[in-house]
Chain A
Amino acid sequence: MRSKFTWIMTLLLAFSFTFSYAQEKTITGTVSDPLGPIPGANVFVKGTQIGVQTDIDGKYSINASVGDVLEFSFVGFATQTVPVGQTNVINVTLEEKAKVLEGVVVDKYRNITPVTSASAMATVSVEEVEDRANASIIQNLQGQVAGLNIGTGSGQPGADSTIILRGVGSINGNIEPLFIVDGIPVDEDGFRSISQNDIASYSILKDAAATSIYGNRGANGVIVITTKRGRYNQKLSFRYTTQFGYTKLQNLNMELMNSRELLEFQKANGVGLGASLTDAELDLRARQANTSWKDVFFRTGVTKSHDLSITSGSENSTNFTSLSYFEQDGTFLNTNFKRFTVRNNFAGKSDNEKFNYSMNLNINFSRSNGIDGAGSNAIFFAPFRAALHGLPYLSPYDPDGSITNDGGVVPGDPNSVTPNVVPYVLLNSVNMNTDQEDELKILGSFSADYNFADNLTAAIQLGVDYSAFKLLEILHPNSILGPFQVDQNAEYGGIQSEDATRDFRFNSTVSLNYNNTFAEKHNIDASVFVEYYKAHYDGISFDQFGLDPRLVGTGSGFIDSGIFEDLDDNVNTPDTQPYIPSIGSFKVEEGLFSYFANLDYDYDRRFGISATVRRDASFRFVDDNQWGTFWSVGGRWNLEAESFMENSRDVVDMLKLRASFGTSGNQRVNNAQYSILNQYLNLYGAGSGYNGTSSTVPTQIAYRGLRWEEMEQSNIGIDFGFWGNKLSGSIDVYKKLTTDLFQDTPISPINATSSIDTNIGAMQNQGLEVTLKYVVFKNDEWRVSVNGNTSYNKNEIRELPASYDGIVFGGGSSALIEGSQINTFYVVKYAGVNPSNGNPLFYTADGGLTETLSDADRVDTGKSIYPVWQGGFGTSVNYKGFEFNTQWSYFADLYRNNLDYAELEETNVVDDGSNRVVSTANAWQQPGDITSVPRVGNPFGAVDYINSTDRYLEDASFLRLRNIQLGYTFSDKVLEDLPITGLRFYVQGENLLTFSSWRGWDAEGGFRSTDRGNYPTPRIYTLGAVVNF
């Protein structure tokens, strides 16, 4: 009752403020969401400071003139605008979650509405990615935001993605953005554990004005994720969602030989099985077995999920609780992912609203059964390679017709484990071995603020990101490779390795905020902050050699390390102990400390300036280098609020110019977490010394000059909305310059080493980003809209250490070259096959032809693994309860070495236990042959071509139908007699269509430089339902 009285007072207050205006009338109405009225929603007359809040029943009353536009907003909901016409009653229903460029962007330190934001940022509302079937929430963002590159290089469900915002900003340091979940900075690699259905919004902060406040870790951009929460005075409601579906392998874009083709090819070249067969035998063998090994190793997997969320709110508290279970099979045998998560988001406030607090707690447990060996060159340990390369004339069946477990290969017999039987060995390993990763992830945050004096608010935020990993790998003693793992002559084989780590990251921020409005038009919002960050990482591990096959997987199966065996079968030599386990333990920590200030100034919602300055200290640096200072300024001009635009108000809803400039720092100068921990110290360690002694030797030479990598960024942008936001979007151009790059620098060998990593050199990224959204048609029944975004980014190395003469090349296929992109492919150009002798021809550096490969002939191709163009587009059609959405994404102008194809077309040797692509049969045979495949026995193998030439350097550009979804929402009428308030069904598919010239399974490679036997990402089809009650 008391609270209701407050609302009435507010109402009266609103009247008193607006009374003086003439020609005005009073508009009344109710603001509600699909579940009921919203108390405390804001109602503004657009372009003015006139505003009221709704009362407890969601009702409002405001004075406005015909032609004014009313703006209705509430945290967590899309803002709606309604022009004032003849009617005096305007009821609105707000839709949950912000659309692009609308609503409130919540970053860690500030709440900013886009109208008053001077920053380049994008928001992805949850409805745009909701109900997707990827295990990792990050994968859903691909193609959604201009400038945001998300590359996933593995089809293992929940696999980590590489995320790059506005180009690669560091050579050796961290290149991924900072991730903030509900105010807590979290590990950028740990997103498989978070449930999609808990997310409320994603904000992507791009320019210096937005990221500078994150100074010590925001140099590569910031992605702010908020999770759902309840509202005050909200009825208890439930939301249950479920999905069921299948995962499938994508199409293979290459033509492999069948049994007959391969045997005939072998016979023609006098090698392999084919050469030993008569025509009749060959014919028989080809008919007996023609195995597509990919069909043996890959399968259709099942995916399913269940989520239940409960939301409620009382007068002074709100609650959101969710439980979810997710399970997805990989497309490869025995790979899968399971996850169970619990979340509770609680918030409360004092009666006078001066004190607010909230607590978010999220506990996730996931288990990932995977398989090692993607990209491996060890053919007996490379499962995905075996699925692609396996010989088709090997039968996958045992005589009884079942899929074989070993193909007749005898475990532990070195003579029977030959390259020809690789698929049998791998099939055996896949079926018998274990590779399991468990993650327990706990995200907890607490925040509180207290408005202790007029215009002054003090706040504190505490956050914890805790991840405990447990790795378990077992190589079964009875598997084909098991007996080799200890000693061939030992009685027991097999290895069990376990690895347990704990990663605890704590973050706290305390702040003081001052907010005031002077003379009605001048609004100042100023804050000072102190931030503390500390991370602890420790772990233990062991490898047990020798397992009892009857007790595999348990500690009871470990063979006693005290056992002596006569391994060399010689009674004269002493027996040895083959089962001694190896053990390890480590513990490291990291820390940061910062203080900073932020000032936002707004004049009449027409002009705004935002400035940040911060001082950051990192534990990695010492002396004068420990502290870095970073700053930014941003400005905006809201043209739509200007009087000269008055006549175009019908057309222009928003037209805002933005500009910003600023700096930020990167202290994670080496990409790996928990590395470069104490470069400023001379360190010693124990080693093996002279004459069989132990020794103390220097293990690290100190360099005290290490300091922050610094990135400065300028950005100019425009945000716009026309014709009632029918067309909206933004355009940005930017330039980022990273200086003091952490990289290898020569030092005199008098220091006992000839190079050390120091801060030297510069790199630049510049680009353009365009985001557009257009509502094509809209009436009561139909809504058709399209959206698209595209970005262009050019990366350039500006400066390398002087003594390298502009190029750092350390072997392999890429180099750092001044004036070119980072890790540009630096190879000899392939010219084709010499018709006279069948040898490959290469271009020399000056354009001549040669048959020999020499480093001197390498040239900068200007091609790199990172896309120059990237973007996405989508369509959305709603008709009554039906909705149909598509989301496409594309990468263009990026390259990757295709070692899989190179090996499948190799003619250096042809009897290597690997199948071939059909085109290999076109290999040069006699003088005059014009062909693209060099003669059998030509001097270069697949790896030579990959490392030194551009023969298999392929364009990995692609356009992919990332998601397609068809759904139907039942109307309230239908549900009237049912105990539920909402019901929706949908079907959807991921990755259904791909257009690419890439010759392989998956054009998407997670920004790898070389593809060899990798796990392709799957297609996923699911059927889902959402029930509200």
Chain B
Amino acid sequence: MKKIFKFSLLALFVGAVSCDDAIDINQENELTEENAYQTVADLQTGLNGVYAAYVPDAGSNGTGDVILFNDLFTDNIKRGLSSSGQGNQVYNFILQPGSQFPATLWSNRYALINYSNRLLKAWDRIFPTLESGPDIETANQIKAQALALRAIGHFELLQYFTVNYEDPSAPSIILLDFVPEVTDVFPRNTVGESFEFINNDLNEAADLVGDFYAKDVASPFNAYYINGDVIKALQARVALFQGDYTSAGTYVDAIEDNYTLSDTETGTYQAMYNDDTTTEENIWTLARKDGDNGVVALFYANSAEIDGSPFFEASYDLYDSFEANDLRTSVVFNEEDGETTSPGDILLIGKYPGGSFGVQVNDVKWIRWAEMLLIRAEVQARAGMLTEAAATIETLRDSRYQGNAPSVSYGSLNAALADILLERRRELCFEGHRYLDLKRLGADIGEGIDRDDRDCASFSAPCNLPAGDYRFTLPIPTVEINANPGIEQNPNYN
């Protein structure tokens, strides 16, 4: 009996030392998903993070996201005054699975998609608990924006990693509408599946967005958020790449009442770039504020001036593509500091002059009415309406030129598309379009990269890359292959 008593005492003693508090520990600074997202306001902060993860303007010192790559890989840039070799590989058409840009784009956009999916997962948990009408409306608007951003992530990956947009069964990208486990890997979905996925996201976003931040509702309106018009504009872009020109035209028409072109003669065009002013032309502008990555750092080590260590300059080829009375040159090239007027010389890039949040910080004018007009012109031309297409281009040029632009007429579809491609180059240079334009539109009319001899000599690089070259599609990057060795690579990369 006494022994039993002793043993039970011992058992009590051992039992008193509970193991749970030693091995199930919650650190007090842990913010789990459940705690992080509890209210609609929390979801809004999550959305702020998703927006912040979309950085087409990221990069510095010779490496970057799409805004740098589109112009550097093609014919809009030459070696800068203060270059120590930045961007040399890209300019030399060296594109490998291990190259920086494919990895940057793949990683940045999938991070955007991941953040968006994490937010949407929390949304699904919180939405059923909402009761007040305003909360439900706000939540729907948040979901609309998250879906649109997820669509943008997928669409941009599709644009660069797909060989042929119009072959629905060809491999495209990995589609994710959920948060994966870290050990998960997936094969590429097809082009058809990808477009369907993107369109579904945008359609659902359009249904949910309501009058959020609509131009006539928001005050002041500064084009910084994804509203119904932005979604339509995105849908126009997607339809254009999908080859669904009719829809592209319809989406452009749907928002035409809300936007007009800025003008170089009244100075609204210049103000849009030099002062980050929101004009009637801006459909979506990426806001860049204190502490944000500076877009100027893509081209200059310090600031957008001749003493600011420009390691990239605009190319002679781009400079020569403008006609004499085209006033856009005053924005595209920084004429005050450089020697732009006597080519020979220094062609400083002027589209991002630095702003009130720092000498390297400017908003990114990401979707403008001018681009919508260029889509409309292309849709018209492809529909055989060459006269209408010419008129659309002429309208655009009139707003850009000193006085009236020369009249335009097209003798053939190819001539029209060539002129549209030229106009896209002038209008959209340094805004993330040139590589994609040559890939899509250039391939249609047999126009590849054809640099001015002086430009390619500045980097001792090749001057030409023929239309349809395999390097107009990016290789699946090594960062993905490392974890996912079975993924299908694009042709001609190994």
Question: Contacts A530-B17, A593-B23 hold; do A752 and B483 have CB atoms under 8 A apart?
Answer: no
Interface residue SS majority, chain A: strand
Q: Which residue of B lies closest to A586 (CB)?
A: B29
| Minimum C-beta distance from A463 to chain B (A) | 13
Q: A695-B45, A750-B113 are in contact. Are A678 and B13 (CB under 8 A)?
A: no
A residues in contact with B180, CB < 8 Å: 748, 750-751
Q: Is the CB of A689 within 8 A of B183?
A: no
CB distance from B366 to the nearest CB of A (A): 13
Cβ contacts B27-47/A at 8 Å (1 or 0 each): 111111101110000100110
Does A591 reach chain B (CB closer than 8 Å)?
yes
Q: Which residues of B contact A687 (CB under 8 A)?
A: 49, 52
Query: Is A702 in contact with B46, judged by CB distance below 8 angstroms?
Result: no
Which among B49, B186, B480 is the interface contact of A689 at CB below 8 angstroms?
B49
Contact yes or no, A681 B30, CB < 8 A: yes
Judged by a CB distance under 8 angstroms, whether A244 is at the interface is no
CB-CB under 8 A from A619, the residues of chain B are 22-25
In the assembled complex, how far is the CB of residue B319 from the closest CB belonging to chain A, in whole angstroms? 34
- CB–CB B115/A698 < 8 A: yes
Q: Are B110 and A591 in contact (CB under 8 A)?
A: no
Binary CB contact string for chain A from 597 to 620 against chain B (1 if under 8 A, 0 otherwise): 000000000000000000001110
Across the interface, do A693 and B48 meet the contact criterion of CB distance under 8 Å? yes
Distance (Å) between the CB of A512 and the closest chain B CB? Answer: 7
A684-703, CB < 8 A from B: 684-699, 701-703
Taken residue by residue from 163 to 200, chain B's Cβ proximity to chain A (1 for < 8 Å, 0 otherwise) reads as 00000000000101000101111100000000000000
B119 and chain A: residue at smallest CB distance: A696
Query: Which residues of A are found within 8 Å of B183, using beta-carbon distances?
Result: 705, 747
Nearest-neighbour CB distance to chain B for A25, whole angstroms, equals 44
Instruction: Judge if B484 is at the interface, Cβ distance under 8 Å.
Output: yes
Q: When the two chains form their complex, are residues A746 and B30 in contact, meaning their CB atoms are under 8 A apart? A: no
Whether the pair B482, A746 counts as a contact (CB closer than 8 A) is yes
Stretch of A452-460, A472-480, A652-660 contacting B (4+ beta carbons < 8 Å): A452-460
Report yes or no: B186 in contact with A750, Cβ–Cβ below 8 A: yes
Answer yes or no: A534 CB below 8 A from chain B CBs. yes
B-chain residues with CB within 8 Å of residue A681 when the two chains form the complex? 30, 32
Beta-carbon contact of B182 and A746 below 8 Å: no
Size of the A side of the interface (Cβ < 8 Å), in residues, is 59
Is B48 within 8 A of A618, CB to CB?
no
Residues of B within 8 A of A298 (CB): none
| Docked pose: A203 CA to B107 CA in angstroms | 52
Within 8 A of A (CB), among B451-494: 477, 479-485
How far is B29's CA from A589's CA once the two chains are assembled, in angstroms? 11
A677 within 8 A of B: yes
- In the complex, the chain A residue whose C-beta lies closest to that of B16 is A510
Mark B6-23 against chain A: 1 for CB-CB distance below 8 A, else 0. Answer: 100010011001010111
Which residues of B lie under 8 Å from residue A626 when comparing CB positions?
23
Tell me the bound Cα distance from A684 to B35 in angstroms: 9
Asked, given contacts A591-B22, A698-B115, A803-B485, whether A678 binds B33 with beta carbons under 8 Å apart, the answer is no
| Contact code string A739-764 (vs B, CB < 8 Å = 1, else 0) | 00000001111111110100000000
- Bound CA span A687–B53, Å: 11
A689 vs B33: C-alpha distance when bound (angstroms): 18
Chain A, 657-694, CB within 8 A of any chain B CB: 677-678, 681-694
How close is A629's CB to chain B, nearest CB, in angstroms? 15
User: Given A690-B48, A694-B48, are A617 and B6 neighbors across the interface (CB < 8 Å)?
Assistant: no
**Quick check: B33 and A688 within 8 Å, CB to CB?**
no
Which listed residue (A530, A590, A751) contacts B114, Cβ 8 A? A751
Q: Chain B contacts of A591 at CB under 8 A? A: 21-23, 25
Q: Which residues of A contact B25 (CB under 8 A)?
A: 589-591, 619, 677-678
Nearest-CB residue, chain A, relative to B121: A682
- Minimum distance in angstroms from A537 CB to a CB of chain B: 11
- Which of B273-281, B283-291, B408-416, B428-436 is found at the contact surface with chain A? B283-291
User: Which B residues are CB-close (under 8 A) to A452?
Assistant: 6
Cα(A702)–Cα(B27), bound, Å? 15
B22 partner, pick from A592, A693, A748, A749, beta carbons under 8 A? A592
Q: How far is the CA of A681 from the CA of B31 in the complex (A)?
A: 9
Q: Which of B198-248 contact A (CB under 8 A)?
A: 224-225
Docked CA distance A817–B22 (Å): 37
Most chain A CB within a 10 A radius of its CB, from B32, B186, B290: B32
Check B111 for interface membership: any CB of A closer than 8 A.
yes
Task: Verify if A504 is at the interface (C-beta below 8 Å from B).
Answer: no
Contacts of A645 in B (CB 8 A): none
A221 to chain B, nearest CB (A): 24
Q: Are B32 and A684 in contact (CB under 8 A)?
A: yes
User: Do the beta carbons of A754 and B479 come within 8 Å of each other?
Assistant: yes
> Which listed residue, A508, A589, A756, touches B27 by the CB 8 Å rule?
A589
Is B51 an interface position by the 8 A CB rule? yes
- Size of the chain B interface, CB-CB below 8 angstroms: 62
What residues of B have a CB within 8 angstroms of the CB of A756 in the complex? 182
User: In the complex, A617 Cα to B23 Cα: how many Å?
Assistant: 7
Q: Per a CB cutoff under 8 Å, which of A510, A532, A699, A701 touches B182?
A: A701
Instruction: Contact check, A752 vs B289: say whether CB atoms are below 8 A apart.
Output: no
CB of B106 closer than 8 Å to a CB of A = yes
A692 partner residues in chain B, CB cutoff 8 A: 287, 289-290
Return the chain B residue nearest A687 by Cβ.
Answer: B49
Shortest B184–chain A CB gap in Å is 7
Q: Which residues of A contact B424 (CB under 8 A)?
A: none
Q: Are A696 and B46 in contact, with the CB atoms below 8 A?
A: yes
Report chain B residues within 8 Å CB of A678: 25-27, 30
Chain B CB within 8 A of A588 CB:
yes
Interface string of B94-129 (1 = CB under 8 A from A): 000000000100110011011100100000000000
Taking CB atoms, residues of chain A closer than 8 Å to B184 are: 748, 750
Min CB gap B263→A, angstroms: 27
Q: Which of B13, B22, B30 contacts A460 (CB 8 A)?
A: B13
Contact in complex: B287, A696 (CB < 8 Å): no
B17 pairs with A683, CB closer than 8 A: no
Produce 1/0 per residue, A301-334, CB < 8 A to B: 0000000000000000000000000000000000
Say which residue of A530, A689, A751, A754 sits within 8 Å of B45 (CB atoms).
A689
Cβ contacts under 8 Å, B114 to chain A: 698, 750-752
Q: A684-B32, A703-B182, A756-B182 given as contacts; is B45 within 8 A of A749 (CB)? A: no
Given A697-B115, A752-B111, A746 contacting B6 (CB threshold 8 A): no
Chain A 496-534, CB-CB to B under 8 Å as 1, else 0, gives 000000000000101010000000000000000010111
- Tell me if A235 counts as interface (CB < 8 A to partner B): no
Is A880 close to B, CB under 8 A? no
Least CB distance, A801 to chain B, in whole angstroms: 8
Closest to B106 in A: A749
Query: CA A698 – CA B118 in complex, angstroms?
Result: 8
Q: Are B52 and A688 in contact (CB under 8 A)?
A: yes
Q: Please state if B27 and A677 are interface contacts (CB–CB under 8 Å).
A: yes
Q: Contact: B21 with A534, CB < 8 Å? A: yes
CB distance from B112 to the nearest CB of A (A): 9
CA distance A684 to B29 in the complex (A): 10
Contact (A510, B51) CB under 8 Å given A534-B22, A593-B23, A678-B30: no
Can you report 17 A-B residue pairs in the complex whose CB atoms are below 8 A from each other?
A534-B22, A587-B28, A590-B25, A591-B25, A618-B23, A684-B33, A690-B52, A693-B48, A694-B48, A696-B46, A746-B479, A748-B110, A749-B110, A750-B114, A750-B174, A754-B482, A756-B182
Query: A residues touching B (Cβ–Cβ < 8 Å)?
Result: 452-453, 458, 460, 508, 510, 512, 530, 532-534, 586-593, 617-619, 626, 677-678, 681-699, 701-703, 705, 746-754, 756, 803
Other A-B contacts than A591-B22, A678-B25, A750-B113, 14 sampled, CB-CB below 8 A, are A588-B27, A591-B21, A593-B23, A619-B24, A681-B30, A682-B118, A683-B32, A695-B49, A748-B110, A749-B477, A750-B180, A752-B110, A752-B114, A754-B482
Pairs of residues from A and B, 4 with the lowest C-beta to C-beta distance, nearest first? A689-B48, A591-B22, A690-B51, A695-B49
B interface vs A, CB < 8 Å?
A: 3, 6, 10, 13-14, 17, 19, 21-33, 35-37, 42, 45-46, 48-49, 51-53, 103, 106-107, 110-111, 113-115, 118, 174, 176, 180, 182-186, 224-225, 287, 289-291, 477, 479-485
